[in-house]
Chain A
Amino acid sequence: MQKYSAFELFKNSVSHHENWPRMWENPVPKKKYDIIIIGGGGHGLATAYYLAKEHGITNIAVLEKGHLGSGNICRNTTIVRSNYLWDESAHLYEHAMKLWEGLSQDLNYNVMFSQRGVYHLCHTLQDIRDNERLTYANRLNGVDNEMVDAEQLQREIPLLDCSDKTRFPILGASVQRRAGNARHDAVAWGYARGAAMRGVDLIQNCEVTDMVIENNTIVGVKTKQHGVIKADRVGCVTAGHSGVMAKMAGFELPVESHPLQALVSEPIKPVLDTVVMSNHVHGYMSQSNKGDLVIGAGIDSYLGYGQRGSYSIIEHTVQAIVEMFPEVSRVRMNRQWGGIVDTTPDACPIISATPVKGLFFNCGWGTGGFKATPGSGHVFAATLAQGKAHELAEPFSIERFHNGALIDEHGAAAVAH
């Protein structure tokens, strides 16, 4: 497959860019693979990519029930950061951050990763204390983070209302300057292209309806469109539907699926060159390269598979945004959508072997999966290749819900999950 370069760009401009080759084909699945990955989203495609690239395993199929990158990878608000409080999660997300920093070069595909900084606003004394603790914890783990006071914050983000006239005046913020955002679709496409280039079969419109298990060992999966496809190992990376997949394999997961929604405004001129989140008034906003304001907030509190959210959540979200950025109060919203996120009791992912031999799960990323895409794929690829957990994935075993070694990231990190 073709390598992208300035020269290729020039060459194709001569033919009006009409002769670029396909980035991947639509192969007919083989009868048997070494590894099957269920779920062709960001994490699944990244897993396939690193399996092929770093572990030399190319007899892999990625089975996707819809089209590639049609789930949460195209529904999130594209924020990337690694300022997590606890060691286990800080190491995992920082691992991802390091991969992000070289990702466009590695994939030979521009994922438009922009380290524009992410601010966590503090509105109370407790917020300040929590964020200072977070800052110091991060620095001890080699993750950059710093505190700024309200005056400096106002200088850095003119759009933000840092006056004392608001209902919850802003006292300061912690900022991770290496954080930022990336073009989410490009991440899926870049990984898909990279995987396909190395011989991975990307099978779209192929829904897994059952697992084929013999003697408590996985031997393949049953699909709606292509019958049984055999495999030595199966990795399940199906986000919101992980609970449904686990049920097929005959065990339960400690995940609950909730709708999480986001909205974007009409495109406006550049007003915000960074990402601002507030846990206290509960909303966050950035501006995309197109100019739309990208806005998100919390999950719906009830279970839902509907890929749509509740209107009351939108109202609260917009209230929070207007509280922080009064100037955008008359900007019209363009689109609103929802994704299904699989949340765990401790808000940390599950990257783990399961009671079924040869079957591995990578799920439970909840509301923060996008930022981890490269790291998640990287450690899950190693886990699948070796048949045992990668060093960074070890603490995220499903066993923690029985032995009590939870990674309590939920409230402690003082971040908008």
Chain B
Amino acid sequence: MLCIFCPHCGEYREEEEFSARGQAHIKRPEDPEACSDEEWGNYMFFRKNPKGLHHELWVHSAGCGKFFNMTRDTVSYEIKETYKIGEQPSVVAAEK
């Protein structure tokens, strides 16, 4: 069971109160009409699937109901940090 710190509530709560909503920091194309099929497909469907550090979007669905981001290791499941929407992660994977 993950124990997750909600940055809005300022408390650690159990995983069951939260829902994972996939990759964080996905930017909607500025001008969707001008996108090629490939750009739009990439935006819609192609997600990072790292074996290691990952930045994810979570929602405290049975708590405050607010969204936040999390940096988590997808192998050890260790949560490195949680931070509010709009903020940047402080723990990032080394670029290869």
Residues of A within 8 A of B (CB): 241, 243-244, 252-257, 300-306, 310-312, 345, 401-404
| Residue contact B38 to A310, C-beta cutoff 8 Å | no
Q: Which of B37, B38, B47, B77 contacts A304 (CB 8 A)?
A: B77
Complex alpha-carbon distance, A209 and B15, angstroms:
34
Taking the complex as formed, is B91 at the interface, i.e. its CB lies under 8 A from any CB of chain A? no
Complex alpha-carbon distance, A315 and B46, angstroms:
32
| Residue contact A312 to B16, C-beta cutoff 8 Å | yes
Complex alpha-carbon distance, A114 and B29, angstroms:
51
Nearest CB in chain A: distance from B39 CB, A: 9
Taking the complex as formed, is B7 at the interface, i.e. its CB lies under 8 A from any CB of chain A? no
State the interface size on chain B (CB cutoff 8 A). 28
Q: Which of B19, B49, B76 contacts A257 (CB 8 A)?
A: B49
Chain B, range 36-71, C-beta contacts under 8 Å to A? 37-38, 40-42, 44-51, 54, 56
A residues near B88, Cβ cutoff 8 Å: none
Given A256-B49, A310-B15, A403 and B37 contact (CB-CB distance below 8 Å): yes
Q: Which of B19, B48, B75 contacts A306 (CB 8 A)?
A: B75
Given A301-B20, A302-B20, A310-B2, A402 and B41 contact (CB-CB distance below 8 Å): yes
Q: Which of B19, B38, B49, B72 contacts A253 (CB 8 A)?
A: B49
Complex alpha-carbon distance, A321 and B26, angstroms:
38
Complex alpha-carbon distance, A310 and B42, angstroms:
30
Q: Which residue of B lies closest to A345 (CB)?
A: B45
Taking the complex as formed, is B1 at the interface, i.e. its CB lies under 8 A from any CB of chain A? yes
Given A302-B72, A306-B75, A401-B41, A256 and B1 contact (CB-CB distance below 8 Å): no
Complex alpha-carbon distance, A312 and B54, angstroms:
22
| Residue contact B47 to A254, C-beta cutoff 8 Å | yes
Given A310-B1, A312-B1, A303 and B49 contact (CB-CB distance below 8 Å): yes
Complex alpha-carbon distance, A304 and B74, angstroms:
5
| Residue contact A306 to B76, C-beta cutoff 8 Å | yes
Given A254-B47, A256-B49, A311 and B77 contact (CB-CB distance below 8 Å): no
A residues near B38, Cβ cutoff 8 Å: 402
B residues near A402, Cβ cutoff 8 Å: 37-38, 40-42
B residues near A311, Cβ cutoff 8 Å: 1
| Residue contact A404 to B37, C-beta cutoff 8 Å | yes
Question: Please, what's the 1-or-0 string for B11-28, where 1 marks a CB less than 8 Å from any CB in chain A?
Answer: 000111001101000000
| Residue contact A306 to B77, C-beta cutoff 8 Å | yes
B residues near A312, Cβ cutoff 8 Å: 1, 14-16
Complex alpha-carbon distance, A301 and B21, angstroms:
8
B residues near A303, Cβ cutoff 8 Å: 20, 49-50, 54, 56, 74
Q: Which residue of A lies closest to B54 (CB)?
A: A303
| Residue contact B74 to A254, C-beta cutoff 8 Å | no
| Residue contact B49 to A255, C-beta cutoff 8 Å | yes
Q: A300-B20, A303-B50 are in contact. List 11 more A-B contacts (CB 8 A).
A: A256-B49, A303-B49, A303-B54, A304-B75, A304-B77, A306-B75, A306-B77, A312-B15, A401-B41, A402-B42, A403-B41
B residues near A253, Cβ cutoff 8 Å: 46, 49
Of B40, B45, B54, B74, which is in contact with the most chain A CB atoms at under 10 Å from its CB? Answer: B45
Of A257, A301, A302, A312, which is in contact with the most chain B CB atoms at under 10 Å from its CB? Answer: A302
| Residue contact B19 to A301, C-beta cutoff 8 Å | yes
Given A402-B38, A402-B41, A403-B37, A252 and B77 contact (CB-CB distance below 8 Å): no
Q: Which of A244, A252, A302, A403 contacts B46 (CB 8 A)?
A: A252
Could you pull out 24 A-B pairs where Cβ atoms are within 8 angstroms? A241-B51, A243-B49, A244-B49, A252-B42, A255-B49, A256-B22, A257-B49, A257-B74, A302-B56, A303-B20, A303-B49, A303-B50, A304-B74, A304-B77, A305-B51, A306-B77, A310-B1, A345-B45, A401-B46, A402-B38, A402-B40, A402-B42, A403-B37, A403-B41
Complex alpha-carbon distance, A305 and B51, angstroms:
7
Complex alpha-carbon distance, A312 and B2, angstroms:
10
